[in-house]
Amino acid sequence: MVTTTETRDDTGIAVNGPAVDRQDEILTPEALTFIAALHRAFAPRRQELLQLRQQRRIKIGNGVDPAFLAETRDVRDDFSWSVATLAPGLEDRRVEITGPCDRKMTINALNSGAKCWMADLEDSSTPNWHNVIDSQVNLRDAIERRIDFTSPQGKEYRLKGQALTDLPTIIVRPRGWHLAELHVRVDGVPVAGSLVDFGLYFFHNAHRLIELGRGPYFYLPKLESHLEARLWNDVFVMAQDLLGVPQGTIRATVLIETITAAFEMEEILYELRHHSSGLNAGRWDYIFSVIKNFRERGPRFVLPDRDQVTMTAPFMRAYTELLVRTCHRRSASAIGGMAAFIPSRKDAEANAVALEKVRADKNREADDGFDGSWVAHPDLVPVAMAVFDETLGGLPNQIDKQREDVVPNAAALLDVAATPGEITEAGIRKNIEVGVRYIESWLRGIGAAAINNLMEDAATAEISRSQIWQWINAGSVTGDGRTVSRGWVERMLKDEFERMERFEGDRFDDALSVFTECALGEAYPTFLTIPAYTRFLANGG
């Protein structure tokens, strides 16, 4: 039987969830009151913006392509504004390591030698109640340098250096606006997961970070419009006022990982300009967004196998080059995409091939003008660092590289059809394997899953299930002439599922159910994590 905690009083705040070690340090009455204030101020507007997302998606599905907004042309044409000056610890971001905030990975990330750590409470972290609270505990302990870990095998992990400024700058990624935290309710209404993640971290750490020479820095995921950026900015303003933190102390990097946001990059920077630290090219979610929005628009928007959709595809080149141009003309940092490869200590030959691909990817980003890039594993930090060291030399960034040669081009952003490659049976089977295995891991509370030497997260699982849904519903044809039918995919799903190694306590049956619903159902769930979260809660999470 799951032990639960419940807090109810005349404030209208209720917390219900499995008991988590040290939760009382995080869920203080003052912290909950802070979150409740944010919720009451912004919950109605959040709901309105989520409805606008759906309305926009319907228009795209009905044939209305995204475009640069006529009503915000003045913002784009005004050359007088720029974002805030770079904050302490964000001047040099040439390599950022990413990952969830469990205790061991927190220490490894902070000892990695990267310039920044994207501490992920989103796509690489399952939002079960234990992870939500434990991540906050670990972040707080890391900032206070009181974090350590001993593995079951007796290996000890401790932070290097003597001060917070000796370590990578911490940038926290809260959940997106679409996810609710069902364990926390205010006036009977679930609080947005984004406000819970942001609020707890900011409340407990903002003043201490400033004292230690850093600040409360964030990555903002899955924004679909500048209006959503405006909402975040208003949250920041209120949060700083409530805690007596000087305005502009918060800095946020927005992940441009939706097709609609790609048409509003300047407007997003403008809305956050007093709190902005740049934009990031969230490549996997971007591909997912393209598939999701255009899934019923026919062959023009059908992509080949996921492995064949590289950053050199014309629509991806248009997006990333425009991101660099947009950031640098507004004095903001442009951060490149993820290198998800996980080196194997057993296969030196495979490592050499993969590392060369990583180098080529980072060289392209550095040559394009990016100021830094992401890696998912500590062993990739020196590889990416060497590339950006060569490009930057003694400079902390290359914001002066304006990329005036890049011209905003709506047609280029939407030129999905020019992507080379084909659909293959192997690609379908890989999507099935990655989708099911990742969902199974997620349902056990592990949101960053190593599958076939790649670090998979929710975004790559979303691509996997969305491609299958689109291929089936578009009647797509493989390179060898076979139509991707529901029946054929169901047979392959059965084959792949039977090959998966089972173990005590696995969640494969639930994972199969979620994947089938999201990839083979008549309806298309907007995010697979929503039905997965429901199943997770049903099992006491």
The residues that are catalytic are 173, 457
Angle between helical axes of 381-392 and 348-368 (0-180°, round to 10): 30
Query: Which strands sit side by side in the sheet containing 4-7, from one edge to the other?
Result: 4-7, 13-18, 180-186, 189-192
* Sole residue written with tokens 């399952």: 126
Burial of 113: CB neighbours in 10 Å, binned 0-12, 13-18, 19+? middle
Contact partners, residue 27, CB within 8 Å, separation at least 6: 7, 15, 133
**Tokens in use for 148?**
């350590």
For residue 94, CA distances in Å to 169, 369, 404 come to 12, 11, 22
Among 184, 460, 207, which Cα is nearest to 309's? 460
Half-sphere exposure of 536 (CA within 13 A, CB side): 27
Residue 13 CA to residue 407 CA, distance in Å, equals: 50
**191 phi/psi in degrees, rounded to 5:** -85, 145
Residue 532 CA to residue 321 CA, distance in Å, equals: 35
* Sole residue written with tokens 């302990």: 141
DSSP string, 143-200: HTT--EEE-TT--EEE--SSSGGGSPEEEEEPPPTT-EEEEEEETTEEEEHHHHHHHH
**3-class secondary-structure state, position 213:** coil
Residue 392 CA to residue 209 CA, distance in Å, equals: 28
Amino acid (one-letter) located at 10 = D
Helix, strand, coil content of the chain in percent (nearest 5)? 50, 15, 35
Residue 51 CA to residue 199 CA, distance in Å, equals: 24
Amino acid (one-letter) located at 526 = T
Could you tell me how many residues make up the chain? 541
Please count the other Cβ atoms lying within 10 Å of the Cβ belonging to residue 25.
Answer: 14
- Assess contact for 229 and 271: CB atoms under 8 A: yes
